[in-house]
């Protein structure tokens, strides 16, 4: 099989006393995402999508929140580890499409900075699309209690 596709999802609560980091970018906001690592739900959803495309379970199997190695870890570093795993398994990332669902803050202006951060993890800015949406006031996202992210990743066999 020359191509594989994976889907990823992550969500985290917004809490006071944490920095808001999404896509490796520190975004000014009065709350941040609660998580064992830095809580970067965008990176986590992309990691989950890559792992899914590889058929290797999910993010929790590779980076369990019970492992102190990942406490306050940079999710860009976790993403780089995952990209390296895909490459060593004989796959290149062909395309990533992600949607961040957050009522606040407005995130559309940060997508280019996020793409720059992803380049440090080995993902070219030309092969990723990031969208930001609100939830129209509905559910935990709409009430401003958290952020959710979905991502899709297409892998292609190296050299294909």
H or E segment and range at residue 76: helix 75-88
Query: In the prediction, which pLDDT does 160 show?
Result: 61
Within the chain, residue ranges assigned H as helices are 41-54, 59-62, 75-88, 111-119, 139-142
* pLDDT tens-place values along the chain, 160 residues long: 799 999 999 999 999 999 999 999 999 999 999 998 999 999 999 999 999 999 999 988 888 788 778 787 899 999 999 999 999 999 999 999 999 999 999 998 999 999 999 999 999 999 999 999 999 999 999 999 999 999 999 999 987 6
CA 6 – CA 102 distance, rounded (Å): 23
Query: In the prediction, which pLDDT does 7 show?
Result: 98
CATH class in words for 3-157: alpha beta
Q: Where are the domains of the chain?
A: 3-157
Query: In the prediction, which pLDDT does 24 show?
Result: 97
């Amino acid at each position: 099989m020359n191509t594989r596709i994976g889907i990823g999802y992550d969500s985290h609560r917004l809490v006071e006393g944490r920095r808001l980091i999404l896509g490796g970018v520190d975004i000014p906001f009065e709350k941040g995402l609660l998580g064992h690592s830095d809580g970067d739900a965008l990176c986590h959803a992309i990691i989950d999508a890559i792992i899914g495309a590889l058929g290797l379970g999910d993010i929790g199997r590779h980076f369990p929140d019970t492992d102190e190695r990942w406490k306050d870890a940079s999710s860009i570093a976790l993403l780089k580890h995952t990209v390296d795993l895909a490459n060593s398994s004989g796959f290149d990332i062909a395309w990533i499409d992600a949607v961040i669902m957050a009522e606040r803050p407005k995130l559309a202006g940060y997508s280019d900075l996020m793409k720059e951060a992803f380049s440090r993890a080995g993902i070219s800015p030309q092969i990723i699309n990031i969208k930001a949406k609100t939830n129209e006031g509905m559910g935990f996202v709409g009430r401003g209690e958290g952020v959710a992210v979905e991502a899709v990743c297409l892998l292609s066999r190296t050299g294909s």
